[in-house]
Amino acid sequence: MNSYPKKLRLTASLVTCLSLVGCAGGQFETAAPPSDHPGASTSSGLCVATRSEMTVSVGDTFTDGEWVRDFYSGEKARVADGKVTLTPAPESEGLLLLEAVEAPQQSFNWAGATVYFTVTDRFANGRTDNDRNYGRHPDGKDEIGTFHGGDFAGLTEKLDYLKELGVNAVWITPPFEQIHGWVGGGDRGDFQHYGYHGYYALDFTRPDANFGTRDEFRTLVEEAHARGIRVVMDVVMNHPGYSTLQDMQTFNFGGLRDGFEKHLPDQWGDWKPESWEDFHAYHALIDYDHPDWANWWGKDWVRAGIGDYATPPNASIDPLRGSLAFLPDFKTESDKVVDLPVFLRNKDNTRAEQLDDATVRDYLITWLTDWVREFGVDGFRVDTAKHVEPEAWQELKAQAQEALETYRSNNPGQPLPAEDFWMVAEVFPHTVTRSSYFDAGFDAVINFDLQEEARAGAACLSEMEPIYSDYSEKMNGDTPFNVMSYISSHDTQLFSRIADNDPAMQKRAASALLFTPGTSQIFYGDESGRPFGPTGSDGHQGTRSDMNWEDIESGTAAPVLSHWQTLGQFRDRHPAIGAGEHQRLSTEPYVFSRTHGDDRVVIAFGKE
């Protein structure tokens, strides 16, 4: 029972993940290749930062006689002959962060934003009474793919922590109700993989009970807004979640092979493999040609290769109509009017309703934008954007903007959201270039290059100069655009592993990331050295380990964390760091400026 007929291997229900990156996010690709930028290096040797007095050229960024302040130390100096002389703070890693003493308050700019990405289930557990729902259980082993208890309440409790980190936008994984059961995780089926990450949606109209209630989500958004933090919600239009034994039983869709029900416990989701089997083996119990698969999403909604559903091609052959990691593929391109899926019609607590003359795309966009209309979500991070037709994204953006305006009209007392809805696309392996996605409703695209490039910058910040200048020149050209860069993610690697768990490099990585032109994305725990977790035969599950609050509360993470906080607060004060034009002012010491309107900073790094 550890091998399957070809028919089963092609079904949307069979998830092997094949050690792929992003079984949660639906990517087939591995981590981004090394950058070809000049100056990018794989050397892990750290240059020695200076603690000596530095004379820094400020060019014409600050005028003679003007007083500037080093944000890190608080020390001030008057500009004379285009220069200032200051000594870096002992803990600053040789940095001077120069701003005008009388610097005006700056307006928020997405290109200068710091976005904190958190996997809700793994971040903070605010309520332990909602840790068990829908018949889900811990596995009692490594808990690789189970729910860990993180929720909206926990995230709300940590908003002050994010504010202290200089964060002005938080990206949360999809909050929707997930498949109730599990599928086999990893290529060996060696763990139970639930939808703890949010990418296996069952009902797009409700929050998953493990994450919390609608009121708790509303509180999260309102409390974030009260602190000047925008909320970016992860959304998926390419696929729903897999079918599972538990959902088949609960919602009465699909069917078992004749006589095979005797092999299942009373609660099908409690099935366990025999000693010679793995967690993929349950597929042998299922009749994937059974007519009751019509009671699931239905052949007009998805391609799934079961019953009379269309069989999707491999996504590498047809990126728009293909299946990612054997997930059911929504027919978002279809102009056929569809009914609400049978299982949703019969689901007691869904908010999904039959829509008149609606296509699959119409339903999905309505469901997603309802979260904006009701809660005031400020933006979407769009999963697997290249696997959905551009027209769908254009329509989503337009309706999300309308929904945001409706929310603002209905909630005039809310200080946020801003007037313009923001959308950023995940398009692996997009780089710093203005592609067609910017014409499809997106304000930014995730940049996959920086993770590798930042290794050299964490060792010695001056190594980032060719990267910073290249990024700035491209993004501030004749047709400006924006990207969101990261050094760690749930679908690639943790930078702490790239840095061989060296705290000094983890500390310096803050400079490499937070001084990068464009939007910067912090992955939860970048700032605290969060360790890689249990991963089984899926090498990327370990990137989603629990947030290391114990290290923060005990002070173990303090040297790294305090450095990130100082640099994050400086970036928050000065959108020009991300949104402004970059100019190198000196090589030794390495000095550069960023200017955007009346926002001006000079950043200097000295080494022995």
Rounded to an integer, the average pLDDT of 133-144 is 97
- 72 occurs within a structural domain: yes
CA distance 249 to 286: 12
Give the mean pLDDT of the chain.
Answer: 92
Rounded to an integer, the average pLDDT of 399-409 is 97
CA distance 89 to 91: 6
Say what the pLDDT of residue 25 is: 42
Does pLDDT of 12 surpass 70?
no
CA distance 270 to 248: 13
pTM value?
A: 0.94
Say what the pLDDT of residue 418 is: 80
| 16-72 per-position pLDDT tens digit | 333 233 344 444 333 333 344 443 333 458 999 999 999 999 999 999 999 999 999
Beta-carbon contacts of residue 187 (< 8 Å; ≥ 6 apart): 16, 17, 18, 19, 537, 538
| 568-602 per-position pLDDT tens digit | 999 999 999 999 999 999 999 999 999 999 999 99
- 330 occurs within a structural domain: no
Beta-carbon contacts of residue 93 (< 8 Å; ≥ 6 apart): 49, 507, 508, 511, 563, 605
426 given a catalytic annotation:
yes
Indicate the pLDDT class of residue 298, thresholds 50, 70 and 90. Answer: very high
Domain region containing 499: 38-106+449-475+491-515+526-563+580-607
Say what the pLDDT of residue 7 is: 38
| 451-506 per-position pLDDT tens digit | 999 999 999 999 999 999 999 999 999 999 999 999 999 999 999 898 888 889 99
Does pLDDT of 10 surpass 50?
no
- 596 occurs within a structural domain: yes
Does pLDDT of 334 surpass 60?
yes
Say what the pLDDT of residue 290 is: 97
Rounded to an integer, the average pLDDT of 391-396 is 98
383 given a catalytic annotation:
yes
State residue 233 phi and psi, 5-degree precision. -105, 130
Output DSSP code: residue 180: S
Say what the pLDDT of residue 346 is: 96
Indicate the pLDDT class of residue 424, thresholds 50, 70 and 90. Answer: very high
| 109-125 per-position pLDDT tens digit | 999 999 999 999 999 99
- 391 occurs within a structural domain: no
Say what the pLDDT of residue 38 is: 40
Active-site entry in 99, 247, 329, 426: 426
Shortest CA distance to 200 belongs to which of 233, 238, 241, 236? 241
Active-site entry in 187, 203, 278, 383: 383
CA distance 227 to 167: 10
Structural domain count of the chain: 1
- 497 occurs within a structural domain: yes
- 558 occurs within a structural domain: yes
Are 358 and 348 a contacting pair, CB within 8 Å?
Answer: no
- 534 occurs within a structural domain: yes
- 77 occurs within a structural domain: yes
Does pLDDT of 278 surpass 70?
yes
Does pLDDT of 321 surpass 50?
yes
